[in-house]
């Protein structure tokens, strides 16, 4: 506890002088950076439109209700597609992520100098690029459709699953691995009986978690043509059919709530 002497009295201070100055400097430069950035954003903003926003929001709001309930007949197939994009994409990602994770983990990687950096690069590239950008790319290669969405979701999820999985592999209890090794087990048997049982709960947890995220992401892939309910959203927005937009948003909301409920159930059952 820093105490300063002021003539005769002892004065209690929250921080000593140096920390105080450092904190002050961080706050000063942080605030300056924020103000400067804000100014740049503000220069590019048409403030007239922003001031007008409440009127426009009220206008759009009034057009959005009531939702056009009849439109729901056209939403079941896109919803099914959305679900499939998320589920099949997650499954594909899991299949691809497991080998990547084993290559990336320090204790299981067959060649820490060559394959490990490559695996880490795969993980970082996959994580840096949003699934929407992946689908933009895949739509221009594979053409529009559900397949592009599935692969986009898979490519985005590999990094996420592999990263969490390889961290789990690095944190395993080596004694169990050793115990299996002393029985004369082969390399694949060591992995199957020494490592896999230890990371299985993490693996399942991460998969369910990613599936939940993917449901959310797959709802918008249609905006760039990669299938699912996003296609309907785009179509309705293009013709300014706000009552349909409301219904679509409502369906997305319910789907996401359902997936969250399901994944919470699944996680409780496992862990």
Partner 1 sequence: MNASRTWRPKPFIENPKLRWGITIGVLLYMLLALGSVEVNWMRIYAGLDRGLQFFAAFAQPNFTERWTDISEGLAESLVMTVVSTVIGIIISIPIALGASRNLAPLPIYLFCRAIITLSRTFQEVIIAILFVAIFGFGPFAGVLTISFATIGFLAKLLAEAIENIDPGQGEAVRSTGARWWQWLNYGIQPQVMPRLIGLSLYRLDINFRESAVVGLVGAGGIGATLNTAFDRYEFDTAAAILILIIGIVMFAEYSSSAIRKRVQ
In the complex, the residues that contact partner 1 under the rule CB under 8 A are: 33-34, 37-38, 40-42, 44-46, 49-50, 53, 56-57, 60, 80-81, 83-84, 87-88, 124-125, 127-130, 132-133, 136-137, 140-143, 145-147, 150, 193, 200, 216-217, 219-220, 223-224, 233, 237, 249, 252-253, 256-257
Nearer to partner 1, 19 or 128 (CB): 128
Least separation in angstroms between CB 4 and partner 1: 20
**CA dihedral defined by 203, 130, 103, 212, rounded to 10 degrees?**
10
For residue 151, give Cα distances in angstroms to 48, 73, 100, 256: 42, 27, 17, 21
Contact between 222 and 146 under an 8 Å Cβ cutoff? The reply is: no
Please list the residues that pair with 9 across neighbouring strands.
6
Question: How many CA atoms within 13 Å lie on the side-chain side of 41?
Answer: 7
Least separation in angstroms between CB 69 and partner 1: 20
Least separation in angstroms between CB 162 and partner 1: 15
Least separation in angstroms between CB 52 and partner 1: 9
Nearer to partner 1, 3 or 41 (CB): 41
Nearer to partner 1, 110 or 130 (CB): 130
Nearer to partner 1, 22 or 110 (CB): 22
Nearer to partner 1, 219 or 244 (CB): 219
Least separation in angstroms between CB 83 and partner 1: 8
Contact between 185 and 171 under an 8 Å Cβ cutoff? The reply is: no
DSSP 131-146: HHHHHHHHHHHH-SSH
Distance CA 204, CA 143 (A): 32
Least separation in angstroms between CB 8 and partner 1: 25
| CA 173-174-178 angle, 5° bins | 135
């Amino acid at each position: 506890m820093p105490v300063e002497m002021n003539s005769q009295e002892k004065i209690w201070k929250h921080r000593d002088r140096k920390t105080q100055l450092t904190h002050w400097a961080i706050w000063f430069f942080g605030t300056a950076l924020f103000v400067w950035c804000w100014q740049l954003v503000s220069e590019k903003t048409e403030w007239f439109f922003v001031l007008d926003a409440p009127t426009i929001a009220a206008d759009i709001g009034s057009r959005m209700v009531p939702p056009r309930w009849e439109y729901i007949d056209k939403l079941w197939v896109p919803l099914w597609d959305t679900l499939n994009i998320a589920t099949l994409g997650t499954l594909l990602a899991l299949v691809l992520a497991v080998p990547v994770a084993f290559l990336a983990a320090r204790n299981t990687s067959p060649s820490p100098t060559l394959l490990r950096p490559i695996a880490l690069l795969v993980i970082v590239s996959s994580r840096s690029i949003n699934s929407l950008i992946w689908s933009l790319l895949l739509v221009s290669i594979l053409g529009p459709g559900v397949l592009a969405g599935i692969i986009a979701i898979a490519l985005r999820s590999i990094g996420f699953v592999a990263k969490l999985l390889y961290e789990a592999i690095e944190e395993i209890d080596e004694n169990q691995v050793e115990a299996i090794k002393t029985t004369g087990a082969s390399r694949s048997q060591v992995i199957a009986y020494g490592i896999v049982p230890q990371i299985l709960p993490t693996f399942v947890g991460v998969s369910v978690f990613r599936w939940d995220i993917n449901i959310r992401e797959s709802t918008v892939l249609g905006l760039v043509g990669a299938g699912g309910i996003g296609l309907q959203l785009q179509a309705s927005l293009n013709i300014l059919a706000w009552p349909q937009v409301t219904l679509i948003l409502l369906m997305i909301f319910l789907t996401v709530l359902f997936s969250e409920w399901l994944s919470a159930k699944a996680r409780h059952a496992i862990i």
